[in-house]
Copies of this chain bind each other. A is one copy, B any other.
Amino acid sequence: MNKALLESFFRHLGQYVTLSEEEFHDILSFFEERNLAKKEILMHAGGPCTHTHVVLKGCLHMYFVNEKGVERTVQFALENWWLTDLLAFQNKANTDFSIQAVEKSEVLSISLDQQGQLLEKYPQLERYFRLIYQTAYGASIMKMKYLSDFSKEEIYFHFTEHYPKFAQRVPQYLIASFLGLTPEYVSEIRAKKRS
């Protein structure tokens, strides 16, 4: 895998825990590297959820297809973000979600057993994962507030103002899906704002 990407991941981990370069390279041996084409599926709804994934380059989204056949994105992951169906992952169960590459992506994937062995060998990584999940959980509580408090229009503009990186990189129809809006509605309010 590209050296610059691994260095970026090393710096990311270094924000949370102290690791030597040697330890980092040993840690990488617990992971599988995957290169994904744009739109490639990494996890299939209905199948087992065997791995959790961290994005080194690119963007993933996790979604389900609702009863009307409409795709609904529940989570995105850009660089250094983790993504999986955590409940299915920790129970080694089947998942209702799919994970797909939004753009050409490079990810590191780890199984529950490998993660268990990794954390046994490097217990300092417990702190890293604790902080990652703490923030993700906190953000999901905040998202629930926005979704139920804001008007549809406010939800869209709040999101694009607070996460401009996402708004620039991710196709509008996926942002719409994540916010529970239709692509048509998003086109309409963007046109209204421009005019």
Contacts and interface: CB of A to CB of B under 8 A. Distances in A.
Interface of A: 62, 64, 66-67, 72, 74-75, 85-87, 89-90, 96-97, 119, 123-124, 126-127, 129-130, 133-145, 148-149, 180
Nearest to A119: B127
Contact of A126 (B127, B138, B140): B127
B149 A90 contact: no
Given A66-B149, A130-B133, 11 more contacts: A67-B149, A85-B141, A86-B137, A86-B138, A90-B134, A90-B138, A96-B145, A126-B126, A140-B140, A140-B141, A143-B144
A129 B134 contact: yes
**Majority-rule SS of A interface residues:** helix
A20 to B, nearest CB: 18
Contact of A145 (B74, B133, B137, B139): B74
A135 B86 contact: yes
Contacts of A97: 145
Contacts of A89: 138
A148 B87 contact: no
